[in-house]
Structure 1
């Protein structure tokens, strides 16, 4: 959709019109939490990782009262250098920020809204803000949830931001009719730990199953968004009690010192990192990378699902109804619990220019080379 306040780069505009897979990246959390040059290096590595999947990355920010969709290297360097001197702009802030010719990072609620408005289906972020605990009262509210409800995207993130009430956030998501599912998890995760006491309705095992379910949602003209939760790996988890204690301690210290604005974010990220001996930063970096790559897989699978050569076999086997597992079809068929092999060759290995050519080339390889690729595939998926 055209809008006189939005400038879309030629690359993104062409990708939207040609229905090329695209992922919108929320990068405000990176620029706000990391110092230069680490923030710029991480953003550029995410861009390169997404491109490896044959997917176009779309970054956004507000520049002198204009919304820019599709950033250049100079734009990214500018945001990295000027993280302390520019605004933080949510969806609610957009009208006044544009009228005032502001420049700033677009927070997740704004990225969700603009992505949906211009026709980008998949968004990757670190986490979402939820329903406040008493700790954060007066600091943030669930703008992310309101934006998800009013938009139509598939958001990949690692769960609920620390400091928010997970049970009440789930209730809010359900009230707003936002579709919530877990990627290889039965539980609604927090950002730093994978299990909570809130069970999800559905668990999906492959990007292909996610793509099919999202496209069916759109074919039924159901307009609210789809929230896919990609939990932190066990190896990067932080004990719930430890992380909540660290956040509370850092918050109370910041409040006593009357630290506000960007300084507040800097202090919280740095202090929690210190209190967890660096574990919080390690989890943050892992989740950012994992979510971007999963979003790229899903975006590509959506594109394949819309073509005549899609492989839809056994998609239902990769969707588990958590509350009632008996409804899952063929649950003992472990062979379907993986991404399609040829899709993996095409999307990840960039095996050929087209899906059909990928299959043809593989079938003409020597038996030894075929066996080697299949072994690599099994190791990657597991």
Structure 2
């Protein structure tokens, strides 16, 4: 654990956990490294301490230094032998001395074990289209069900089956609340038709977290923050782009772990790069909100 993070946790605990698959696998180099640094700066500016979490040569680190960020960012160039680690992979990655970006599931597990109760990310994983048959469901959902950590995000990732993802979270006892909205944000779109309870500010979010802790409920809470309005896509336009991307994936036989990157590349091309810019903007917005919440809690 970084000294700065340890000191803050021993005091007011104004710490925000940050995942690293966005750095290692989510954005091209050097945009990934620039964003990682910008997100940490945004957390500091909002009054909290960033704890970027990852694995470097088998060492699980809560609070990466800049050299670690550079190392993880090399993964986006297809070199550096950087892998992606979810909860099931952590022991294997550590045992083999590998370097890995951590998913939401792995990050909240490590954050909660370290005493960190707030995390920021772009979007959570969930049920993929056709997941009711393929069982292609993100480990993020089960991790949220057993980990007491508030995750600030822009909702589930847009390429997912959002109604089934929301239903799966409900089944697991995970509350999803909208920040300033009573409709579930859809990552690239500000609102979907799915209803969620609304939080009207930081104080309301803090009261919710306090009530959850007082009840002793072990699950996390998803605080869904709508993406920035100046870049967000219209639902119909995004739906058409996603349908075209899914059709292209089917025609080329893309499935499994290769599906998500394929869809994201297709969406980026179809939108003229707007989805990439939006991804960066919403990650920054979520980091600021998470930092405000952590600072308020402290």
Whether TM-score is above 0.5 comes out as yes
> 1:91·1:110 contact (CA, 8 Å) conserved in 2?
yes
Give CA deviations for 1:222-281 in whole Å, capped at 9, x if unaligned: 221111010123332212233233234334445655668987655433321111222212
Give CA deviations for 1:78-109 in whole Å, capped at 9, x if unaligned: 11123323111101222222222222111111
- Following superposition, the deviation at residue 143 of structure 1 comes to 0.9
- Aligned twin of 1:196: 192
- Following superposition, the deviation at residue 137 of structure 1 comes to 7.0
Give CA deviations for 1:131-176 in whole Å, capped at 9, x if unaligned: 2212897594131111000100010000111222222211111111
From 117, 120, 124, the counterpart of 1:124: 120
Work out the CA distance in 1 between the residues paired with 2:133 and 2:240: 17
Q: How many residues align?
A: 295
The 1:296/1:62 distance shift into structure 2, 3 A limit, reads: same
- Following superposition, the deviation at residue 220 of structure 1 comes to 2.5
- Aligned twin of 2:26: 33
- Aligned twin of 2:168: 172
- The unaligned stretches of length 5 or more in structure 1 are 1-7, 304-382
- Aligned twin of 1:52: 45
* Aligned pairs (5 A) from 1:38-187: 38-83=31-76, 84=78, 85-134=81-130, 140-187=136-183
- The unaligned stretches of length 5 or more in structure 2 are none
Between structure 1 and structure 2, the one with the greater Rg is 1
Work out the CA distance in 2 between the residues paired with 1:186 and 1:111: 27
* Aligned pairs (5 A) from 1:245-284: 245-254=240-249, 256-257=251-252, 267-284=262-279
- Aligned twin of 1:299: 294
Deviates more, 1:228-237 or 1:114-123: 228-237
Work out the CA distance in 2 between the residues paired with 1:156 and 1:258: 34
- Aligned twin of 1:221: 216
The higher relative CO (CA closer than 8 Å, separation ≥ 6) is in 2
Give the SS at the match of 1:282.
Answer: helix
Work out the CA distance in 2 between the residues paired with 1:55 and 1:282: 25
Give the SS at the match of 2:54.
Answer: strand
- Aligned twin of 2:16: 23
- Following superposition, the deviation at residue 110 of structure 1 comes to 0.3
Q: CA RMSD in A?
A: 2.3
* Aligned pairs (5 A) from 1:2-21: 8-21=1-14
Deviates more, 1:221-230 or 1:266-275: 266-275
- Following superposition, the deviation at residue 301 of structure 1 comes to 0.9
* Aligned pairs (5 A) from 1:366-381: none
- Following superposition, the deviation at residue 24 of structure 1 comes to 0.4
Work out the CA distance in 2 between the residues paired with 1:116 and 1:224: 11
Work out the CA distance in 2 between the residues paired with 1:94 and 1:233: 33
- Following superposition, the deviation at residue 182 of structure 1 comes to 0.8
Deviates more, 1:23-32 or 1:260-269: 260-269
